[in-house]
Amino acid sequence: MSEEIKTIEKARPTGESSGRIRPPVVVVMGHVDHGKSTLLDYIRKSNIVDSEAGGITQHISAYEVVSKDDKGEPRLITFLDTPGHEAFSKMRTRGAQAADIAILVVSAEDSVKAQTLEAYNTIIESKVPYIVAINKIDRPNANIEKTKMDLVEKGIYLEGLGGDIPFVPISSKEGTGIDELLSMIILVADIQGFTGNPSLNATGVIIEAKRDPQRGISATCIIKDGTLKSGMFVACGEAIVTTRILENFLGKPIKEATFSSPIRLVGFESMPDVGSIFYSFNTKKEAENYIKNIKDENLNDVTSNKNVSTAEKVIPIIIKTDVMGTIEAIEKEIGKLNTEEISFKIIGKGVGAINESDLKMGNVNKDTIIVGFNTKMDNGARDLNESLHVKVETFDIIYKLIDWLKELVEERRPRIETVVVIGSLKVLKTFGSTKGKHIVGGKVVEGKITFGSKVRIMRREFEIGTGKIVELQLNKIKAKEVQEGSECGLQVETKIDIAAGDVLEAFEVTIS
């Protein structure tokens, strides 16, 4: 066994617990010239011993490194080796994420650029925790303080500057601060509490796929949970592969891999989609059944009018019952619940217990629900759902099932917000402000003004901002509302400077 593998395996968490610590998967993002690739190169070369023949040319597009936590214990971190990887952004719409933590790299020399903000927005939309790495601090023109203030001005509130976003000054060229950055990644991972269950069959994300003239179709994958062993079968969409050729990130053959591990699978029958989720199975028949369900779903989308919805919101549903006739009855009742606003789309149905295949199908879309009638979840499915958290409900009375679906429709249907203006006040005089609260006097020219109302601040018929009435007085006495024609004093909470002549329109928002 090579030195790299010995070091990594020594750091890998062990045990069969479903709550075993899972190493974080990290993606590095930011402006193209701010040093993302240099940072990744430094981390890789300083944490991986390239003693094998071929060196780093054999590495795949993700790799594991070993760092140490605050107790001096070795800890694994997995890095995606392609900054701003396609799989990372695609996961926003597929119900999973390739990365657990993001690093936003910003140059201390150039500060915040447009691409920095694009990367930041992608991170925020993906809802992953992130760390800011202020890079190039070794440059003569580096200005860490200015960069920090520029970040805060753009809404990236760093620790010590009004926010809680951790940051680390680094030089990816000299290696300054890299150990601190790795320690911060481990700290964030510990706070988030990433865990996995090694007893499950592996699921994960395809982060790269390619066709080689000699080896055929291969894919680089990140395992997000469970364990993948030699001899299993992997399905991704309609693509299938056996794990006969299973390699680690160094391109070396391995017998098994567990969560957060980057691996390469070789021999896919067709090209898997980058960014899509893969599932593993113990037998080829199980994998083929999964693919058949996917194909049937895609066929139904095209050929079956009852499964093609034009509703504004669609709820995917899987139905399992004790007998086939009950499925038809439930389908008929579900059809009655469909409206132009929201409808159900039946993506799977069958007789028998709710099983692991049902859960894996449901896990493709986070909005999917599984309902069972006179049936239950089998033990394997129950164990699997402890990590997948697919919404599953079982019933033995039909009207209770339908009532539950009605409640779900009401809960998920699109809401319409209506803004109603209840009154307007013309500002006659201002009396100063403090900490964003402005004291003004004015006259109610239409409707009424109420304590606690939200207001639109209008200047020459243009809205310049909004605020909230936090105090209202009539004849110097606190009041709950002031009617049309009366003069009053009020305190408005807003970031806008209110001036005499402005009009405050009080409004209410109703949701229906």
The answer to whether the CB of 395 falls within 8 A of the CB of 404 is: yes
Cα-trace Rg, the chain = 29
Region 30-51: mean pLDDT is 74
Mean pLDDT on 354-376: 90
- For residues 102-128, average pLDDT: 87
Over residues 68-91, the mean pLDDT reads 68
Q: Identify the burial level of 431 via C-beta atoms within 10 angstroms of its C-beta, where 0-12 means exposed, 13-18 middle and 19 or more buried.
A: exposed
CB burial string 248-264: b at 16+ within 10 A, e below: bbbeeebebbbbbbbbb
- Residues in the chain, overall count: 512
Please report whether residue 60 resides in a domain: yes
Q: Kindly state whether residues 214 and 86 are assigned to the same domain.
A: no
- Identify whether the C-beta of residue 316 lies closer than 8 Å to the C-beta of residue 334: no
Of 65-69, 150-154, 449-453, 497-501, give the lowest mean pLDDT range.
Answer: 65-69
Cβ–Cβ under 8 Å, residues 207 and 263: no
Q: How far apart are CA 12 and CA 16, in angstroms?
A: 13
Last residue of a domain, one of 364, 393, 412: 412
Distances, alpha carbon 263 to alpha carbons 60, 63, 248, in Å:
8, 9, 5
Residues 132 and 269 in one domain: no
Is residue 89 over pLDDT 60? Answer: no
State the pLDDT at residue 458: 94
Q: What is the mean pLDDT of residues 44-70?
A: 60
Order across the sheet with 216-225: list the strands.
239-242, 233-236, 277-281, 203-212, 216-225, 262-268, 246-247
Given a cut of 80, whether residue 93 has pLDDT beyond it is no
CB 197 within 8 A of CB 20: yes
Strands 437-450 and 481-483: antiparallel
**pLDDT above 70 (res 87):** no
pLDDT of 258-294, one tens digit each? 999 999 999 988 878 777 889 999 999 999 988 888 7
Residue 293 domain-assigned (yes or no): no
Domain residue limits at 225:
203-287
For range 374-400, the mean pLDDT: 91
**506 touches 454 (CB < 8 A):** yes
User: Is residue 299 one of the residues assigned to a domain?
Assistant: no
SS3 72: coil
Q: What is the pLDDT of residue 301?
A: 52
Q: Is 298 part of a structural domain of the chain?
A: no
Q: What's the whole-number mean pLDDT along residues 455-469?
A: 92
What torsion do the CA atoms of 416, 421, 422, 425 make, to the nearest 10 degrees? Answer: 150
- We report the CATH number of the domain holding residue 493 as 2.40.30.10
The domain that holds 36 is classified in CATH as: 3.40.50.300
Per residue in 163-218, pLDDT (tens digit) is 899 999 999 889 999 999 999 999 999 999 998 899 999 999 888 777 777 888 88
Helix (H) or strand (E) holding 80: strand 74-80
The number of distinct structural domains making up the chain is 4
- pLDDT over 70 for what percent of the chain? 86
- What distance in Å separates the CA atoms of residue 8 and residue 44, rounded to the nearest whole number? 13
pLDDT band at 69 (very low <50, low <70, confident <90, very high): confident
Residue 161 pLDDT exceeds 50: yes
- Output the pLDDT for position 4: 55
pLDDT at 354: 92
Same domain for 14 and 146: yes
The answer to the question of residue 296 being in a domain is no
Which tokens go with 478? 């606190």
Q: How do strand 167-169 and strand 256-258 relate by DSSP bridges?
A: unpaired
Residue 352 and residue 226 share a domain: no
Indicate the residue among 224, 253, 287 that finishes a domain.
Answer: 287
Of 509, 22, 363, the C-alpha closest to 223 is: 22
pLDDT at 171: 92
Same-domain check for residues 327 and 475? no
Q: What are phi and psi of 427, to 5 degrees?
A: -75, 120
Domain-embedded: residue 250: yes
Q: Is the pLDDT of residue 12 over 90?
A: no
> Do the Cβ atoms of 489 and 441 come closer than 8 Å?
yes
For the cut 90, the answer to whether the pLDDT of residue 231 exceeds it is yes
Give the residue from 222, 257, 287 where a domain finishes: 287
- Two tokens at 501? 């002549």
90 and 67, same structural domain?
yes
Q: Out of 129-143, 238-252, 338-352, give the one with best mean pLDDT.
A: 129-143
CA distance 467 to 440: 13
